């Protein structure tokens, strides 16, 4: 194991390299560029033996990755924002074809207005495309997620593509000290990709076919099962990871001081670091507050959300997204989990960080203050304008 001072993008690139992808196809877009630049350097210096394909668009990036995956090769791509939207057709295609491609998405605002900074409207708009969606908090988790993502995606009972999300700039461009596992240990963790879902010269197949009304639902049902099965695969991957590397992860969610918490803030991605600091500060003054970080949004951690919130007096969801005409998408998902578990507590939605706008510790503290008022509303941080949903 070696320690290096790395940005989130670089850390992720090290993780991908350790996973030994056979084909990398990518198109540059800010703030994803560094991960593909770094991978091209690994290929150039010979430390990574992979075919690096300079595609002419994101649509081709994922289409090419699907071609590689369809012949049984381990494939990686990366994108962000407009690029993710440009390849959207291929997202549902890869999921339906059960091609376990791994893609890093640098979370970035979507036009219009143009903006290169981070929010999560890009990936959240693709929540229904059939991909596993994970969100890293820091560079170490990004590297570890890169390695684990292949294990989870390629798991025989999963066979589902994996989107690993890193907050643009805040995580992709921020430097931290990161432990880089050795290749030997990485190989011990992640065996080569084996599948029967491939075009095979010895046993020819027809893949990615049409299925009419009579058969279509069965394929979609199986796709759904694959994504649900990823819960077990995530557990399995993290257990094996912890055994080999000694770092532990907590599955679909991270519960930070939620056990006895009365007020719980729910969020996604790198803002969690600051929320933890605020929680610590409030705890020091005797307030029972906690953080629930959703590490995965697909599969949705229904049980974990309900379990974390069952004793709380109120909750709030802070997210870098708005589904116009409704509310934040993470909020909708969390409410669905609470409703199914018959947990009826005030739960508000705070839309913040759009287009990279900074979210301050004071604002996070004010969300906790608001929670104690016991009302549900949808609010834009810094603008106010409470919408009660009616």
Partner 1 sequence: MAINAKTLDKTEYFYGHKACAGCGGSLAVRIALKVLGERSIAVLPAGCMSAVGFNFPQLCFGNNAIISTFAGTASMLTGVEAGLRAQGIKDFHAVGFAGDGGTADIGIQALSGAIDRNDNIIYICYDNEAYMNTGIQKSSLTPFGAKTTTTPAGKNIRGNLRPKKNMFEIVAAHGIPYAATASIGYINDFMRKVQKASEIEGTKFIHVLAPCPTGWGVPTDATVDIAKEVVDCGLWYLAEYEDGEFKLNHRPSVFTDAGEYLRKQSRFRHLKDEDIETIINARDKKWDFINKNFK
- Which residue in 177, 189, 131 sits closest to 10, CA to CA? 177
Binding residues vs partner 1 (CB under 8 A): 22-23, 25, 50-51, 53-57, 59-61, 63-73, 75, 89-90, 93, 199-201, 204-212, 215
Taking the complex as a whole, the smallest distance from the CB of residue 83 to partner 1 amounts, in Å, to 14
Token pair belonging to 146: 């890169």
The span from the CA of 132 to the CA of 126, in Å, is 10
How many Cβ atoms from other residues are within 10 Å of residue 173's Cβ? 18
| Closer residue to partner 1 in complex, CB, 45/202 | 202
Contact 35, 16 (CB under 8 A): yes
How many residues does the structure list for the chain?
390
Contact 64, 125 (CB under 8 A): no
DSSP 162: E
Taking the complex as a whole, the smallest distance from the CB of residue 211 to partner 1 amounts, in Å, to 4
Taking the complex as a whole, the smallest distance from the CB of residue 296 to partner 1 amounts, in Å, to 27
| Closer residue to partner 1 in complex, CB, 92/115 | 92
Residues with Cβ within 8 Å of 107's Cβ and at least 6 positions away in sequence, in order, are 80, 81, 118, 119, 120, 122, 123, 135, 165, 166, 167, 168, 269, 320
| Closer residue to partner 1 in complex, CB, 207/225 | 207
DSSP 304-341: HHHHHHTT-SEEEEEES---TTS--HHHHHHHHHHHHT
Residue whose pair of structure tokens reads 């609010």 in the numeric block: 379
| Closer residue to partner 1 in complex, CB, 51/179 | 51
The span from the CA of 280 to the CA of 290, in Å, is 9
| Closer residue to partner 1 in complex, CB, 212/384 | 212
Taking the complex as a whole, the smallest distance from the CB of residue 45 to partner 1 amounts, in Å, to 18
Taking the complex as a whole, the smallest distance from the CB of residue 199 to partner 1 amounts, in Å, to 4
How many Cβ atoms from other residues are within 10 Å of residue 373's Cβ? 10
- Which residue in 289, 303, 288, 355 sits closest to 334, CA to CA? 303
Taking the complex as a whole, the smallest distance from the CB of residue 181 to partner 1 amounts, in Å, to 23
Taking the complex as a whole, the smallest distance from the CB of residue 332 to partner 1 amounts, in Å, to 29
Taking the complex as a whole, the smallest distance from the CB of residue 62 to partner 1 amounts, in Å, to 8
| Closer residue to partner 1 in complex, CB, 69/165 | 69
Contact 379, 351 (CB under 8 A): yes
Burial bucket for residue 73 (CB in 10 Å: 0-12, 13-18, 19+): middle
Taking the complex as a whole, the smallest distance from the CB of residue 203 to partner 1 amounts, in Å, to 9
| Closer residue to partner 1 in complex, CB, 54/310 | 54
Coil, helix or strand at residue 148: helix
Residue whose pair of structure tokens reads 């440009």 in the numeric block: 86
| Closer residue to partner 1 in complex, CB, 206/344 | 206
| Closer residue to partner 1 in complex, CB, 62/142 | 62
């Amino acid at each position: 194991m070696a320690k290096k001072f790395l940005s989130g993008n670089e850390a992720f690139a090290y993780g991908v390299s350790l996973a030994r992808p056979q084909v990398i196809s990518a198109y540059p877009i800010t703030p994803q560029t560094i991960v593909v630049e770094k991978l091209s350097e690994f290929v150039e210096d010979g430390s990574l033996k992979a075919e690096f394909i300079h595609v002419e668009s994101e649509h081709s990036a994922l289409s090419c990755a699907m071609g590689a995956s369809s012949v049984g090769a381990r494939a990686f791509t990366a994108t962000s924002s407009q690029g993710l939207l440009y390849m959207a057709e291929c997202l549902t295609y890869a999921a339906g074809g059960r091609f376990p491609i791994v893609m890093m998405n640098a979370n970035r605002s979507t036009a219009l207005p143009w903006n290169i900074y981070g929010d999560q409207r890009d990936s959240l708009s693709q929540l229904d495309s059939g991909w596993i969606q994970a969100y890293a908090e820091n560079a170490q988790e990004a590297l570890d997620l890169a390695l684990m993502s292949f294990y989870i995606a390629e798991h025989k009972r999963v066979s589902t593509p994996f989107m690993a999300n890193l907050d643009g700039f805040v995580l992709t461009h921020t430097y931290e000290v990161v432990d880089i596992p050795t290749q030997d240990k990485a190989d011990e963790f992640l065996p080569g990709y084996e599948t029967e879902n491939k075009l095979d010269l010895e046993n020819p197949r027809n893949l990615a076919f049409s299925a009419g009304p009579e058969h279509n639902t069965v394929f979609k049902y199986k796709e759904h099962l694959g994504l649900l099965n990823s819960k077990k695969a995530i557990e399995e991957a993290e257990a094996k990871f912890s055994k080999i590397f000694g770092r532990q992860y907590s599955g679909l969610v991270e519960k930070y001081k939620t056990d006895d918490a009365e007020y719980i803030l729910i969020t996604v991605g790198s803002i969690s670091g600051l929320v933890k600091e605020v929680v610590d500060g409030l705890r020091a003054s005797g307030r029972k507050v906690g953080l629930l970080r959703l590490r995965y949004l697909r599969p949705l951690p229904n049980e974990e959300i309900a379990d974390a919130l069952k004793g709380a007096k109120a909750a709030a969801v802070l997210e870098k997204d708005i589904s116009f005409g409704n509310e934040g998408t993470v909020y909708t998902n969390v409410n669905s989990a609470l409703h199914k578990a018959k947990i009826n507590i005030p739960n508000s939605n705070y839309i913040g960080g759009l287009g990279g706008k900074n979210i301050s510790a004071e604002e996070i503290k004010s969300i906790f203050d608001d929670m104690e008022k016991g009302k549900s509303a949808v609010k834009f941080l810094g603008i106010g304008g409470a919408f009660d949903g009616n």
